[in-house]
Structure 1
Amino acid sequence: MKSDFLLAITQLAAEKNLPRETVLSAVEAALVSAYRRDSFTPNQDVSVKINPTNGRVEVWVDKTVVERPADTRLEVSLEEARRFKPDIQLGDTIIIEATPHDAGRIAAQTAKQVILQRLHEAEHSAILEEYAEKEDEVITGVVQRIEPGQINIDLGRTEAILPTSEQVRTERYRVGQRLKVCIIQVLKTTRGPRVVVSRSHPDLLRRLLELEVPEVYNG
């Protein structure tokens, strides 16, 4: 039976149109930070695995083998370590499961914002890749806003910028108008992908002719 935590992750992935594996990886990375802060130490080697079938959270940490642990976050007794690795010696390091009893609470309370940030990054990367592949292609968008120096065009998954320099002087644009534009530049910025389109680029006319009169280009 799937946990509520896993069901929520699955739903979030569907809403964001992202692979569930991407979301799970983002959650695991977020939980590493949370557990380091709340249960272990900032520089400790911590890994988190979420069972994709039932949503169980497993936390694994590096601990040093000692005779008597002074700090159980960092150390494990020789007796306990030998339950997992019989030939281990004092001073060795061992990776053991150390899932906190309140793992679910920590996950619910601390991971959300970091998860959303990671999801935004993943979503931006997907959009960047999608439109980078369409550079020099003609697509249809809808005029969203008209601002000084630029027009914002809704392309579906993101907005594009139609600068004044790429507009046609004799054209008049209005909000809600559908326009065919040529993607001339796709940039990665701290605020997300920046797509620049043109109505005056030479490639626009060529691409439009290819679309409207394909027999000319097919010989």
Structure 2
Amino acid sequence: MNRTLVKAMAELNEDIVIEEVKSLIKNNVPVLEIIQYLQRGIESVGKNFEEKKYFMSELIISGEIFKEASQILRKEFPLNTSEQGNFIIGTIYGDIHDVGKNIVATVMKSNGFRVIDLGTDVATEEFIEAIKQYKPKVVGISCLLTNCFDNLRECIQSIQNKGLRKDLKILIGGGPLDEYVRKYVKADMLCKTIQETVRYCKKLYRLD
């Protein structure tokens, strides 16, 4: 394990993160391995946030650092995103947070999924149209605001009312979400970690 990269990501040291990523690339370290190091650092950021050692600003910074590192990786290692199935992701309308969504999108791409990223503040109709167009087995909806739980519930209910839930699983993710919220909004799965998301999707696509 590259402890330097993990520590730098956890401590939000952008210069060292970028330096280490470039060094690992030069040493032919696999892209998935590099992403795993970054993930571990981000997990530490999330833990510090939960323990109130970090605040929302640190979460945003970690997302920006991850995004910059990801751009370097994509440039050096074009990722195959069309082999293993479509994965739609977006942040529910009323919520403009994108850190977690962007991380999940990047990791899903690195695992061979074709990711359709709808962005933030995504209206119900946008999810519905994307589902009709791309016919995924899985849709991921991010929500970090407690006052958007009803939006999440409405969106999922509307997808069901359109008859699109038969062969579709809906995942939800975000800091304030728990099993109670999952049941309230009628989602199929609550994913608290990126690894859970990848494992769940691979199982649905029979890739594990």
Q: Does the TM-score normalized on the shorter chain lie above 0.5?
A: no
Higher relative contact order (CA 8 A, sep 6+): 2
More strand by share: 1
Q: Whose radius of gyration is greater, 1 or 2?
A: 1
TM-score by length of 1: 0.22
TM-score (norm. length: structure 2):
0.22
Q: 1 or 2, which has the higher helix percentage? A: 2
